[in-house]
Amino acid sequence: MKIILFSDDLLPDSDIVGGAGIMTLQLAKEFQSAGHEVLTVTATKHKEKAGNFVFEGIRVVRLHTKYYQDRWRSYRSIYNPAVMKGVKEALIHFKPDIVLAHTIHLYLS
């Protein structure tokens, strides 16, 4: 089965070091060890950290988003144009059977 996991936060070098990013990575590892194909998608405010890479055996797509003030948080969490193209491309190319969207209230839409 193909599983894609979305999370605003994900190690390494995450913008927010917290439980959600750690939990998402652990879930991805467990799904992969159970024989599933896994892809994680996250975001960063730092353009140089964006890109595709493998971290601890897990494929990661890290999308760049511009910094926005907290007052725009509710609006941008519904639709963030800076990441929508990358989110759409990840879904189209990976063609997941299951989508897990975990804590996507800051950067991913």
Residues in the chain: 109
pLDDT digits (tens, 9 = 90+) for 52-69: 999 999 999 999 988 777
Sign of CA dihedral 65, 39, 96, 89: positive
What does the alpha-carbon distance between residue 2 and residue 49 come to, in Å, rounded to a whole number?
A: 25
pLDDT in tens, 3-37: 999 998 887 766 566 678 888 999 999 999 999 99
Q: What does pTM read for this prediction?
A: 0.88
75: its two tokens: 């609006």
